[in-house]
Amino acid sequence: MTTTHPPRSQTATEIPAVPLTVEGYSVLHQMMRFRWPAWRGLPQAEKSAIANEASDALSEMERNSGGQSALYSLIGHKGDLMLIHFRESFAALNQAELKLAGLRISDYWEPATSYLSIIELGLYDSTVKIYKELADQGIEPHSDQWKAEIACKLERHKEAMRPRLYPEIPANRYACFYPMDRRRGEEKNWYTLPIEERARQMGEHGLVGRRYAGEVRQIITGSIGFDDWEWGVDLFADDPLVFKKLIYEMRFDEVSAVYALFGQFYVGVRVPAGSLERLLSGELSK
């Protein structure tokens, strides 16, 4: 079935196509493979000393006031460990990465992959209203006055949304991370749709997620210009079955069914920093 979109209005053609966003914490996902044969060959006392050093460092990072870190034991062949870092800047993420690289345990893990992004909230509905309001006032798009008005309005949105932009890492037992794109091929191209149509589809898409409030926590990060995909999605829940139910239901939305492309999925079990030695000894049950 082919969807026909109405012609864009004259006002719509005068306003930018790019939706406004507000950003919060910078985010780094690190997926690691553990060198189990080398680890098993170490004396028990040395394994304990290395694990305790790493536990102390991770415990401090879990409590970091400028954005936390969390450790997960990955399920499946894509890696053994996943570290999620929330920080106030890319420079702070780099410091977290270097701090871990300086630990002795880094001799026994190696990167499987990583993902760099920033917490992002899209303002589709507000964008249309703001753009049209400024256009109706006769303010030229992209002029200095336009930019100043946009900056002022975004600052108010950012302050109102601060808890969602600078959250703690949810303490749920399971995490699911995956990257995604919006399709931009010859036949279906998300970026050529009118902004009003994109806002409508995203509104419908959001309704599904709200039905799962209380069961799953979702954090969206933007990665255009930072990594190979356009967005990253983190889901947190105490029952991993909700990941399947939520994502499956969302794929029936037009925005996902027609315009979404998905990368690899990573699912892990939360490991408190103090339990690292038990995990590496095989005593921590998943």
List the catalytic residue out of 72, 115, 178, 259.
178
Superfamily of domain 25-118, CATH level 4: Apc35880; domain 1 (3.30.70.1030)
Half-sphere exposure of 231 (CA within 13 A, CB side): 19
Element (H, E) at 183: none
Segment 90-106 shows an average pLDDT of: 98
Angstrom CA distances, 94 to 18, 59, 100, stand at: 30, 18, 10
Q: Which of 43-47, 66-70, 164-168, 211-215 has the lowest mean pLDDT?
A: 211-215
67: region left, alpha or beta (phi > 0 left; psi from -120 to 50 alpha) = left
Mean pLDDT of 237-259: 93
Percent of the chain's residues with pLDDT above 90:
77
Report the pLDDT averaged over residues 33-42: 97
Dist. CA 16–CA 7, nearest whole Å: 16
The reported pLDDT for the residue numbered 10 is 38
Torsion over CA of 75, 32, 118 and 87, rounded to 10 degrees? 110
Burial of residue 201, with CB atoms counted within 10 A of its CB: 0-12 exposed, 13-18 middle, 19 or more buried:
buried
pLDDT(219) > 60: yes
Query: In the prediction, which pLDDT does 285 show?
Result: 58
Task: Return the SS3 of 199.
Answer: helix
Res 31 pLDDT > 80: yes
**What is the enclosing helix (H) or strand (E) of 150?**
helix 144-160
Cα-flanking dihedrals φ and ψ of residue 52, to 5°? -70, -40
User: Quick one: pLDDT band at residue 13, thresholds 50, 70, 90?
Assistant: very low
CB 209 within 8 A of CB 230: no
- pLDDT average, residue stretch 198-219: 88
The pLDDT value recorded for residue 144 is 96
Q: Please, what is the average pLDDT of the chain?
A: 92
How confident is the model at residue 282, as a pLDDT?
A: 86
pLDDT in tens, 147-197: 999 999 999 999 999 999 999 999 999 999 999 999 888 789 998 898 889
Residue spans of beta strands (DSSP E) within the chain: 21-34, 69-74, 81-87, 109-122, 174-182, 217-222, 231-237, 260-262, 266-271
pTM of the complete model: 0.90
User: Is position 174 annotated as part of the catalytic site?
Assistant: no
Give me 204's structure tokens.
């419908």
